Chain A
Amino acid sequence: MRGFNRQQEGTTGLGYALQQTINGLTLGLIYGLIAVGYTMVYGIIGMINFAHGDVFMIGAFLSLTALVGLSMLGVSSVPLALGLTLIFAVALAALYGWTIERVAYRPLRGSFRLAPLISAIGMSILLQNYVQLAQGPRLKPLMPMLPGGLVLGQGADGFAVSLSWMQITIAVVTLAVLGAFGWLVRATALGRAMRACEQDARMAAFLGIDVDRTISLTFVIGAGLAAVAGLLFLLYYGVIDFFIGFVAGVKAFTAAVLGGIGSLEGAVLGGLLIGLVETFWSAYFSVQYKDVAAFSILILVLLFMPTGLLGRREIEKV
């Protein structure tokens, strides 16, 4: 966990805990963005889009390509560069999302139950190794783009609690994107079609909704959100490689399950909780076992609270 201004001394005070909360919430927002993509796809076609974490990874790579390209072109304004990168990464990741659905999932609709999931695993392996092949297996660094931040206050033990510009950017971008997305689902014709398909795809088709198109657009939007998360992840950590999608994907899925799969607010809430748990676990217990913490939460939630925090009870129809 590479938080801003982490100090070894004073790990017991309130200030340290507050700092970890800030770091955890930042990470949690990124997980939340990815989790929304899982929960949407699960809600609408009932499958775990195993390759979603890799779309996030591709989003991060596209962002890095754009940032490096823009700096080579001589764009020095940071907001302009970030804005252009965001558009570039979201558009192309959306194209990836669309293609994946078209190639690997749509032909399998109506096939036996495990077929789409296995296809998704294949797609995940394909994407990971494709990026490794195209971009090389080494870590790709990015120069820090938004250094510095605000010092919020100093604890009694001398630990300075700070909020970096980066964290503020992440929070602002995430909340803006999620707000726009929430509006899209609530108030537009596409959002209505998505909710209708989620409830009953066949009935929605009878009523004149183009189900295939709606599902395609769901993938496109999910991939776009994942690309935003990829860009933020790249900015926050400063390094990416082809493997980041796997672990982040499983954690985001955990977040979606924790929040209640199918529930958009739940996905964000779950993301925040997972981010907090992971950060506090690394800060107070052990960094090596931080992934174990996330996976254990997944197992425990599924056992004791399979509907999650905000999920609806699933009724099995025959």
Chain B
Amino acid sequence: MSRALRSAAGAALVAAGLFLPLVGARIDQAGSAIFLTWHPWPVLLMVAGVFTARLAWLRAPRWRPAPLPRPAGRIGARVLIGLALVFPLLPGVQRYQLDLGVLVLTYVILGLGLNIVVGLAGLLDLGYVAFYAVGAYVFALVSGAFGLGFWTCVPISFFAAAICGVLLGFPVLRLRGDYLAIVTLGFGEIVRIILLNFVSLTGGPNGISGIPRPTLFGLGFGAGNGAGSFAGFFGLPASSLYRFGFLYYIVLGLALFVAFVTHRLRRLPIGRAWEALREDEVAARALGINTTRTRLSAFALGAGFGGLAGAFFATRQGFISPESFTFMESAIILSIVVLGGLGSQIGVALAALVMSGGFELARDFAEYRMVVFGAALVAIMVLRPRGLAGARAPSVTLGPPARIDPGLLASGRG
């Protein structure tokens, strides 16, 4: 028996030990009686799967994917943006596809926002969904209380979330990386519990409904083509597609705005300071970078973008409740950033597409998709810790070192 076979057999044995008591024996209840029912076949299947996977792992040649070259990323970004711009005009794009596009782009915004915090500044934030929630609730409450429209409320949501980011970040950003992760996780849970229990303000588990829809210079997108509506103003036939198209372009605009701001900031001193901090905090501090201010700016900006996405989410749904802002949502956003390759913007966009598209396609296997999701997170870290695109290279580098040799010096090219 070869070594690989023996190893695979060992893995299968371990798998049998793991799965037999939990998968093979299911605790069931009928009336007041509790008993075990036996399910041997799934266990057998899983053990066989582990055996095959281990064997394949040991036999397969090591797969070493190369990172995408930089120009490919630039061209890819242009193609992607172009595709996103014409997407609603493509034939066959109906309400469902537009809705899916809106969902993907919302995750793109969230991913880009978290990418600033995790990918660029290297701060692991597990409570990012809190800022998303703050943006959504501030939008819903402010627009409800003062009768303000979408466009006025979006900046308010942005700043409210950013201020929350500063308020949370100011005390906790001195902490080490993994402590920060747990504190932000706790903060996210605190926000969710408050939203759930502060019934007089947030409506508790019932949430807030009747959130106003966005308008285009005062033109609504309701049904029909009356005088005040978009369709009526331009003399078009009534269709609900305009509203979805409009939402799509709003979220696309917001995503492009976020991407553009981040893209430019990476080349500013502040962006370089973020990356320096991510790579080596001690060295960054030795070079005179104010670590607190640098981290705080990343945290606030990331939070603000989260708030932006939250405001859009609220106006798209017309209804929000604490259920949309669980830890799982934070984990999904984080996995988008991780899958995209911690720091790469195009990677984040692609990962958002893969992730939310994948989730949507796996809707029929709803129970399995979270298992696959967790396993995928582990697998990415083990197999490709740099993600799909893997642009962890610094934004700014020195050129190749100059060649020096006597021959070149003699000819004056040294």
Which A residues fall within an 8 A CB radius of B? 47-48, 58, 61-62, 64-66, 68-69, 72, 88, 92, 95-96, 99, 103-104, 107-108, 111-119, 121-136, 140-143, 246, 250, 253-254, 257, 288-289, 291-292, 295-296, 298-299, 302-303, 306, 314, 316, 318
Q: Does B182 contact A (CB under 8 A)?
A: yes
- Is B186's CB under 8 angstroms from A250's CB? yes
> On chain B, which size bracket covers the interface?
35 or more
Given A126-B374, A295-B186, A302-B175 in contact, is the A68-B382 Cβ separation under 8 Å?
A: no
Task: Kindly state the separation between the CA atoms of A134 and B42 in the bound complex, as whole angstroms.
Answer: 10
Which residue in B22, B335, B378 is a CB contact (below 8 Å) of A134? B22
Q: Does B359 contact A (CB under 8 A)?
A: no
* Complex interface: chain B residues within 8 A of A135 (CB): 22, 26-27
Task: Kindly state the separation between the CA atoms of A121 and B193 in the bound complex, as whole angstroms.
Answer: 21
Task: Kindly state the separation between the CA atoms of A28 and B375 in the bound complex, as whole angstroms.
Answer: 32
* Complex interface: chain B residues within 8 A of A303 (CB): 171-172
Nearest-Cβ distance from residue A287 to partner chain B, whole angstroms: 10
Nearest-Cβ distance from residue A46 to partner chain B, whole angstroms: 8
* Complex interface: chain B residues within 8 A of A133 (CB): 367-368, 371
* Complex interface: chain B residues within 8 A of A115 (CB): 381, 385
> What are the 3 A-B residue pairs with the smallest beta carbon separation, nearest first?
A122-B377, A126-B374, A125-B374
Q: Mark B165-201, 1 if CB is under 8 A from A, else 0.
A: 0000001100111110111011101100110110000
- Is A111's CB under 8 angstroms from B385's CB? yes
- Is A253's CB under 8 angstroms from B22's CB? no
- Is B22's CB under 8 angstroms from A131's CB? yes
- Is B183's CB under 8 angstroms from A299's CB? yes
Task: Kindly state the separation between the CA atoms of A302 and B174 in the bound complex, as whole angstroms.
Answer: 10
Given A108-B385, A135-B27, A289-B193 in contact, is the A122-B375 Cβ separation under 8 Å?
A: yes
* Complex interface: chain B residues within 8 A of A302 (CB): 172, 175, 179, 183
Binds A, one of B28-36, B93-101, B151-159: B28-36
- Is A68's CB under 8 angstroms from B34's CB? yes
Which B residues fall within an 8 A CB radius of A? 14, 17-18, 21-23, 25-27, 29, 34-36, 118, 122, 124, 126, 171-172, 175-179, 181-183, 185-187, 189-190, 193-194, 196-197, 282, 327-328, 331, 334-335, 338, 342, 367-368, 370-371, 373-378, 380-382, 385, 392
B contact face: mostly helix, strand, loop, or mixed: helix
Task: Kindly state the separation between the CA atoms of A119 and B178 in the bound complex, as whole angstroms.
Answer: 13
- Is A296's CB under 8 angstroms from B190's CB? yes
Nearest-Cβ distance from residue A122 to partner chain B, whole angstroms: 3
- Is B18's CB under 8 angstroms from A114's CB? no
Task: Kindly state the separation between the CA atoms of A135 and B282 in the bound complex, as whole angstroms.
Answer: 48
Nearest-Cβ distance from residue A10 to partner chain B, whole angstroms: 26
Which residue in B17, B370, B392 is a CB contact (below 8 Å) of A129? B370
Nearest-Cβ distance from residue A241 to partner chain B, whole angstroms: 11
- Is A64's CB under 8 angstroms from B27's CB? yes
* Complex interface: chain B residues within 8 A of A306 (CB): 175, 179
Task: Kindly state the separation between the CA atoms of A136 and B282 in the bound complex, as whole angstroms.
Answer: 48
Of the A-B pairs whose beta carbons lie under 8 Å apart in the complex, a sample of 12, sorted by A's number, is A65-B21, A112-B392, A122-B380, A122-B381, A123-B377, A126-B378, A140-B34, A250-B186, A292-B189, A299-B186, A302-B175, A306-B175
Most buried by A among B126, B178, B187, B196: B178
* Complex interface: chain A residues within 8 A of B380 (CB): 122
- Is B22's CB under 8 angstroms from A61's CB? yes
Nearest-Cβ distance from residue A234 to partner chain B, whole angstroms: 11
Nearest-Cβ distance from residue A189 to partner chain B, whole angstroms: 25
Nearest-Cβ distance from residue B234 to partner chain A, whole angstroms: 47
- Is A122's CB under 8 angstroms from B376's CB? yes
Nearest-Cβ distance from residue B348 to partner chain A, whole angstroms: 15
* Complex interface: chain A residues within 8 A of B122 (CB): 113-114
Given A117-B181, A125-B374, A129-B370 in contact, is the A68-B35 Cβ separation under 8 Å?
A: yes
* Complex interface: chain B residues within 8 A of A126 (CB): 371, 374-375, 377-378
- Is A295's CB under 8 angstroms from B26's CB? no
* Chain B residue nearest in CB terms to A300: B171
Which residue in B22, B118, B368 is a CB contact (below 8 Å) of A62? B22
Most buried by B among A121, A136, A288: A121
